[in-house]
Amino acid sequence: MSLVVSPSMVQRWTRLSRRAAAAVVIVLLGLAVLPGVLGAGAIDRLAALFVYVIMAAMWNALAGYGGLVSVGQQMFFGLGAYFTVRLAETGLDPFVAMGMASLLVAVVSYPLSLVMLRLKGGEFAIGMWVVSALTHLMVNLDGLIQGETGRSLISLNAYAPGARRDIIYWLALVAMTGLLGGLFALLRNRTGASIQAIRDNEEAAGSLGIDVTRTKRLIFVLAAFGIGVAGALWLASATTFQPKTYFSVQWTAYMIFMVLVGGIGRFEGAILGAVIFFLIETWFGALGVWYLIGLGVVALLFSLFMPLGLWGAIETRFGVSLMPVGYRLEIPPQSRKD
């Protein structure tokens, strides 16, 4: 009797991940028709969920995959809203202004990356927070904004409340789908492998011929653009822009919480973390200070007892990967031959 060893296979898609991809398509199609089914309150809340998913995915892309931990991403959130107000005041349709504002955030982030990416580790994290605070102060100097008094996106009143709500919902859904799809495609190609190699060991990645600076700049600008989109969408729902609200560090704290709880460095983790945060906010947000204390306690408990996050623990325990961005080695069982 002898053992017959079947050859191992390197896989990217598994049967489970293919089914998960099909389920995602079905869910997205279902979400697209909900404005005709659900009430105004539910549509507003779902649009908020889509924004949370965008923010979590972009921070996870920057820190979880790129290794660039930032506590200043609220700068791009605030700039997305600020540029939308500014452009709308020129006579642009507010929804067109939102798209252009998001692109402008990406344009602004490029020269900023030339400076900030020279910083490492904690210096980068704190440096981003400092730049965010300075940006907040500069926005306050704009006469149109009137300091912390702020400014409303008045041009949205040209749309009927129901139509406006539905448009914002669909824009948030399309933006979430497009950004997640683009990020997924990026992480699955050679650039995505380079991003993760830089995160693991920047010097080793450079020695292998990877353009470290260019690759880090790409993920930095992408994350800025995505969070700028989130800021513009949030403004469209809230209609009022106040600098102290949009440039508050709480937005980055929320991003960190979602990624930490869901699972940093895991594509599914950011989405799961956003859903968990959304549910906690929906059920306990009215508790005020106690709600914020609760978020801090939950984040602390996850840091101590589940550092890989919820999805990280599931993936490690059961080997489940619904949206794989890497490869896995499938080792078939040995068979006996008499």
Instruction: Say which DSSP state 38 is in.
Output: S
Q: What is the pLDDT of residue 328?
A: 59
Identify each DSSP E strand in 56-155 by its residue range. 151-152
CATH topology of domain 2-337: ABC transporter involved in vitamin B12 uptake, BtuC (1.10.3470)
pLDDT at residue 261 is higher than 90: yes
Q: Which residues contact 123 (CB under 8 A, 6 or more apart)?
A: none
Q: Are 77 and 254 in contact (CB under 8 A)?
A: no
What mean pLDDT do residues 51-78 have? 94
Lowest-confidence region among 8-17, 20-29, 135-144, 252-261: 8-17
287 burial via Cβ count (<10 Å: 0-12, 13-18, 19+): exposed
What mean pLDDT do residues 5-30 have? 77
Q: Of 68-82, 282-296, 311-325, where does the model show the most confidence?
A: 68-82
- Reported as a single tens digit per residue, the pLDDT across 224-251 is 999 999 999 999 999 899 999 999 999 9
What mean pLDDT do residues 165-181 have? 96
Q: Predicted confidence band at 139 (pLDDT cuts at 50, 70, 90)?
A: very high
Q: What is the phi-psi region of residue 239: left when phi exceeds 0, alpha when psi lies from -120 to 50, beta otherwise?
A: left
Classify each residue of 108-146 as buried b or exposed e, where b means 16 or more C-beta atoms within 10 Å of its C-beta: bbeebbeebbeeeeeebbebbbebbeebbeebbeeeebe
Q: What angle in degrees, to the nearest 10, is found between the helix axes of 161-188 and 190-200?
A: 80
Q: What is the pLDDT of residue 288?
A: 79
Q: What is the pLDDT of residue 332?
A: 58
Please tell me the total number of residues recorded for the chain in this structure. Answer: 338
The share of the chain scoring above pLDDT 70, in percent, equals 93
Q: What is the pLDDT of residue 127?
A: 94
Q: What is the pLDDT of residue 326?
A: 64
**Secondary structure element (H or E) that encloses residue 2, with its range:** strand 2-4
What is the spatial distance between Cα 109 and Cα 106, in angstroms, rounded to a whole number?
A: 5
Q: Which residues contact 259 (CB under 8 A, 6 or more apart)?
A: 56, 59, 60, 63, 64, 269, 270, 273, 309
The share of the chain scoring above pLDDT 90, in percent, equals 56
For the chain, the helix, strand and coil percentages under 3-state DSSP, each to the nearest 5: 75, 5, 20
Q: Are 88 and 101 in contact (CB under 8 A)?
A: no
Q: Are 188 and 325 in contact (CB under 8 A)?
A: yes
- Please give the single-letter amino acid code of residue 154: I
Q: Predicted confidence band at 3 (pLDDT cuts at 50, 70, 90)?
A: very low
| Residue 3 φ/ψ, nearest 5 degrees | -95, 135
| Domain range annotation of the chain | 2-337
Q: What is the mean pLDDT of the chain?
A: 88
Q: Predicted confidence band at 180 (pLDDT cuts at 50, 70, 90)?
A: very high
pLDDT at residue 303 is higher than 50: yes
What mean pLDDT do residues 153-169 have? 91
Q: What is the pLDDT of residue 276?
A: 93
What mean pLDDT do residues 328-336 have? 55
Assign 240 to helix, strand or coil.
Answer: strand
pLDDT at residue 335 is higher than 70: no
| pTM of the predicted protein model | 0.91
